[in-house]
Amino acid sequence: MPSIEACLFDLDGVIVDTAKYHYIAWRQLANDLGFDLTHAQNELLKGISRMESLEIILALGGVKLTDEEKLQRATEKNSRYLALCMQMTPADTLPGVRAFLDELKKGGIKTGLGSASKNAKVILERIDMLSYFETIVDGNRITIGKPDPQVFLMGAADLAALPAQCVVFEDALAGIQSAKAAGMLAVGIGEKAVLTQADIVIPGFADFHFQDMEAAFA
Ligand code: BG6
Ligand code: MG
Q: CA-based diameter of the chain, in Å? A: 53
Per-residue pLDDT of the chain (218 residues; tens, 9 = 90+): 458 999 999 999 999 999 999 999 999 999 999 999 999 999 889 999 999 999 999 999 999 999 999 999 999 999 999 999 999 999 999 999 999 999 999 999 999 999 999 999 999 999 999 999 999 999 999 999 999 999 999 999 999 999 999 999 999 999 999 999 999 999 999 999 999 999 999 999 999 999 999 999 98
- The rounded Cα 214 to chain-centroid distance in angstroms is 22
Which pLDDT does position 43 carry in this prediction? 85
CA–centroid distance, 100 to ligand 1, in Å, is 23
Which pLDDT does position 139 carry in this prediction? 97
Question: Is the CA virtual torsion 107, 94, 205, 7 positive or negative?
Answer: negative
Q: Is the CB of 61 under 6 A from ligand 1?
A: no
Choose one of 43, 53, 70 to mutate for the ligand 1 pocket test, by most ligand atoms within 8 angstroms of C-beta: 53
32 is catalytic: no
Tell which atom from ligand 1 comes closest to the C-alpha of 138. 15
Tell which atom from ligand 1 comes closest to the C-alpha of 13. 6
Exposure string for 78-98, b = 16+ CB within 10 A, e = fewer? eebbeebbeebeeeebbebbb
Distance (Å, rounded) from C-alpha 31 to C-alpha 36? 5
Which pLDDT does position 1 carry in this prediction? 47
Which pLDDT does position 200 carry in this prediction? 97
Name the residue type at position 31. N
Output the pTM of the full model: 0.96
Alpha helices in the chain, H assignment, sequence order = 19-32, 39-43, 50-61, 67-85, 97-106, 120-126, 150-158, 173-181, 210-216
Distance (Å, rounded) from C-alpha 169 to C-alpha 75? 29
